[in-house]
Amino acid sequence: MAAVDKNSKLPLYYQLVEILVKDIQEGRYLENERIPSERQLCEMYDVSRVTVRHAVNELVSMGLLEKRHGDGTYVAPKLSQDLLGFYSFTDEMKKIGREPWSKVLEFDTHSSDEKIARKLGVEIGSPHYRLVRLRMADDTPMMYERTYLPVERFKGLVREDLEDTPMYDVFRNQFDVSFSKAEEVLKPVTTRDYEAELLEVNQAVPSMMIERTTYEDDEIIEYTISIARGDQFNYRVVLE
C-alpha cells in the first residue's frame, strides 16, 4: 500500500488524493463500493481527519467519489455507453435509475458560416438554430452540449419546446422526424475553465468530446458537440 511522504513539499491531502485516484483507477476500489471510513483512512495513512476530509471532498468534487447520506462514501458509478446502437441521453439515464433533465442556457438563430454549413449540409448563410444545454442527471451536471439544427427542417421551433421535453421527443412528436442513423466521433480533451465550472468538476478531470451528426434518410438534421465528464462515462464497443 502506498504511503504519504511527510517530508515531501506536496500537501498531505494532495498526496492522499493521488493515492486514492490510483487505487480507483487500478480497481482496488470498484464502482459503487464503499471506501474506508475517515477514521480507517486516518489509521491507514497516519494522517489527520482534516487531511482525510479535505482529500475526500476533493475527490467528490472531481466526481470520483459520492457521499451517500448516512451510509458512507462510495466510488461513483459511471454510465457505460454502448456505441453500436442509436441512443439518447434521456433514455440512457433512465436505464440506470437517474432522473434526466436539461438546462437550456441559450437558444437563438444564426446564419451558417462555412463550418456549420458544411456540418449541416446546407448553403452558407442558411439559418440554423443554436441550442446550448447542460445535461443533468438528478442534480449532477453530466454533459455540456452545443447543438445546431437547420431552421428549414424545424420551422417554428421555440425555446419553450425544449425546456421540459427531450429534444428527440420534440423532433418525433412535433416534426414527425424519422431517424435513420447517427455518426459519432469521440476524442479525449482537456476540460476548459468554463466547462469545468458548468460541469462542477476540477479542471484536472479530463473530458470526452463527442461530435454527433444525425440523419433523416440522407439529410442531416442535427450536429451536436458534447463535452462529457470523463469521470462519469465509460464507452464500450463490442466487436463480433
Domain that holds residue 47: 12-75
Question: Does the CA dihedral 21-25-26-28 come out positive or negative?
Answer: positive
Indicate if the pLDDT at residue 232 is higher than 80.
Answer: no
* 97 and 181 assigned to the same domain: yes
Residue type, 117: A
Position 3 in a domain = no
The pLDDT of residue 64? 79
Position 5 in a domain = no
Record the pTM: 0.66
Q: What is the pLDDT of residues 154-182, one digit of tens each?
A: 999 999 999 888 899 999 999 999 988 88
Q: What is the pLDDT of residues 56-105, one digit of tens each?
A: 988 887 777 888 888 889 888 765 444 445 556 777 777 767 788 889 99
* 124 and 27 assigned to the same domain: no
* 71 and 94 assigned to the same domain: no
Count the domains in the chain.
2
Residue 135 maps to which CATH number? Answer: 3.40.1410.10
Position 16 in a domain = yes
Position 180 in a domain = yes
Q: For residue 137, what pLDDT band results from cuts at 50, 70 and 90?
A: confident
Residue 20 exposed, middle or buried by CB count within 10 Å (0-12, 13-18, 19+): buried
* 18 and 98 assigned to the same domain: no
Given strand 140-150, what is the order of strands in its sheet?
Answer: 100-111, 127-137, 140-150, 219-229, 207-216, 181-189
Residue 41 maps to which CATH number? Answer: 1.10.10.10
Cell digits for 134? 447542460
Position 6 in a domain = no
Nearest Cα to Cα of residue 56 among 17, 11, 19, 21: 17
Look at the chain and count its residues. 240
* 21 and 110 assigned to the same domain: no
* 171 and 224 assigned to the same domain: yes
* 59 and 119 assigned to the same domain: no
* 108 and 144 assigned to the same domain: yes
Position 230 in a domain = yes
* 55 and 83 assigned to the same domain: no
Nearest Cα to Cα of residue 102 among 149, 146, 154, 152: 146
